[in-house]
Amino acid sequence: MNTTADSTPIGGVFATIGLLTAVFAVTRAIQFVSVYLLPSRIARYAHTTNGQPPWALVTGASDGIGRGFAAELAKQGFNLVLHGRNRAKLSSVMAQLQERHPDRSFRILIADASRVACLNCIRPPPGHAHSHEHDDPSAPAGPTDFDALRTALDGLNLTVLVNNAGGGAVNPTFLSLGESSEARITGNVSLNALFPLHLTRALLPTLRRNSPSLVLNVSSLADNGLPLLVSYCASKRFLLTMTEAVVREMKLLGRGGDVELLGIRVGKTTNTAYFTEKPSFFTPDSQTMARAALEKAGYGHGVVVGYWAHALQHILIKSMPLWVKDRAFIAAVQMEAANDRKTT
């Protein structure tokens, strides 16, 4: 009599589980690869509405990835609204884009993303002055008025919103939670989480009306949790949770129409305020990163890593045992913090 495990009911169950596991693994591998091989569909959002050309709003457009998004979207046929808090820097970016794309239209939108209203409820500690090296002296000093921002965009066929403005606190960049002031933490959360949340809320009716349209939320691989960067990491994770929640909410309320929300995790890039070294295998320049992110639009991916080499890093991070991940993150932050102290 054949009494091997394979001939028993339990053996059959394990064989089925093994087969399903293999099928699942292959399916996930195919899905992963396809994300980075599929052709760009960003053109589906570059449509006219009632004869009006398409517009895209890029927050944090004065440098880094935001500037890369603006350049790529202009190449793809969009007029651009360039947001930032420094009019001079934005004017310089606009002039360069206008020279390269004389058939496009450009506007500037000034707003300090770190001044969402709740920040004004917190009194700065003694001796602390709330200031930003990129502030525009002519910009309003009060909290951000999202109704005014929406009104400033009235009449435009806005079909793309890129929530890119963000970053960590500075001077110093690396600081423990216990040493961080209320103003430092709240300003950083305002910049990375509250500003894109409120801006999306304010502009969703416009984007639904002009659909098909896109909201692209730029997050970071740092949302895996890095020490001494607590408010930055947590607020970047907030942005991706917001992306998924808004999609489901619009479906629940039957208001989705054809508005895609896409969350993009971004790793280290060059040509930013933080990193200026030459591009490498795992460190693309900011415009390459922006192009890669836009190529993910149009497929309903939800939340993805924008650049394929960063995706490999993300897989490695997720596969690490917790103790290995803890040691790796601590060592990486110690090295970056040491470099930061040398340059400040």
The answer to the question of residue 113 being in a domain is yes
Q: How many domains does the chain have?
A: 1
CA triple 340-343-344, angle to 5 deg: 85
The answer to the question of residue 4 being in a domain is no
The answer to the question of residue 98 being in a domain is yes
**Residue 128's pLDDT is what?**
43
Q: Strand 79-84 and strand 106-110: pairing?
A: parallel
The answer to the question of residue 331 being in a domain is no
**Residue 278's pLDDT is what?**
82
The answer to the question of residue 22 being in a domain is no
The answer to the question of residue 334 being in a domain is no
**Domain that includes residue 287, residue range:** 38-117+138-313
- Mean pLDDT, consecutive 10-residue stretches, the chain (344 aa), reads 55 57 56 83 94 97 96 97 96 97 97 79 50 51 86 96 94 94 93 96 95 97 95 97 96 85 95 69 94 96 95 93 95 89 71
**Residue 342's pLDDT is what?**
75
**Residue 224's pLDDT is what?**
93
CB count in 10 Å sphere of residue 202: 18
What is the CATH classification number for the domain harbouring 83? 3.40.50.720
User: What gap in Å lies between CA 213 and CA 206, rounded to an integer?
Assistant: 9
The answer to the question of residue 32 being in a domain is no
| 36-54 pLDDT, tens digit each | 999 999 999 999 988 999 9
The answer to the question of residue 33 being in a domain is no
**Residue 17's pLDDT is what?**
60
User: What gap in Å lies between CA 35 and CA 307, rounded to an integer?
Assistant: 10
Strand, coil or helix: 135:
coil
Do residues 228 and 175 lie in contact, with contact meaning Cβ atoms separated by under 8 Å? yes
155: tokens are 């009449």
pTM above the 0.85 mark? yes
